[in-house]
Amino acid sequence: IHGAHGYLIHNFLSPLTNQRTDHYGGSLENRARFLLEVVKSVRANFPAEKPIFLRVSASDLVEEVEGIDASWEIEQTIQIAKWVRDAGIDVLHVSSGGNTAQQKILTAPGYQVPFAEQIKRAVPGLAVVAVGIILDGPQAEEVLQSEKADLVAAGRTFLRHPNFALNSARELNVKAVFSQQYSRGRTIHG
């Protein structure tokens, strides 16, 4: 379930975009209602042995908008994380921004990792994915070893460096494991 970056579900969650006055607007509980209905429906119709991932925006990265509490505080995201864990989400993929032109994104390597770390520490029993300019294997490994997240995603890095996984394995002195159909191409046969 993809709930971040201006997509439908995050438009319900964010006080910046959700101006509804019915039971899907106003309080955090109301703004989260649509998400929780979707999660419960997916969980009821998805094999129990398979994990369900949800991507959320931990912050809209907007300081203020006239007349609207524009802060998408981490405390709200932590509460939502608890609710979705209890509703059947197994893995929470934590991102930020992307919902409004008023956002102010100050990027640096690992800039979104603190959001994932705060959620991981506050919501036991929920696996958390960190993102945010993951540049190399040692950086990703540091996030995992310091228990800031359970998983690391490096989407844009793969666009710039398609061999990111192989390079990271080399940097970390780890043998890369290939799927069976590709392993034969890794050796020279006579």
Q: Among all residues, which ones are annotated catalytic?
A: 7
C-alpha span between 63 and 143 (Å, rounded):
27
Neighbouring-strand partners of residue 129:
93, 151
Closest CA to 1 of 40, 51, 55: 55
Q: What DSSP line would sit under 133-186, residue for residue?
A: ---SHHHHHHHHHTTS-SEE--HHHHHH-TTHHHHHHHHTT-PPP--HHHHGGG
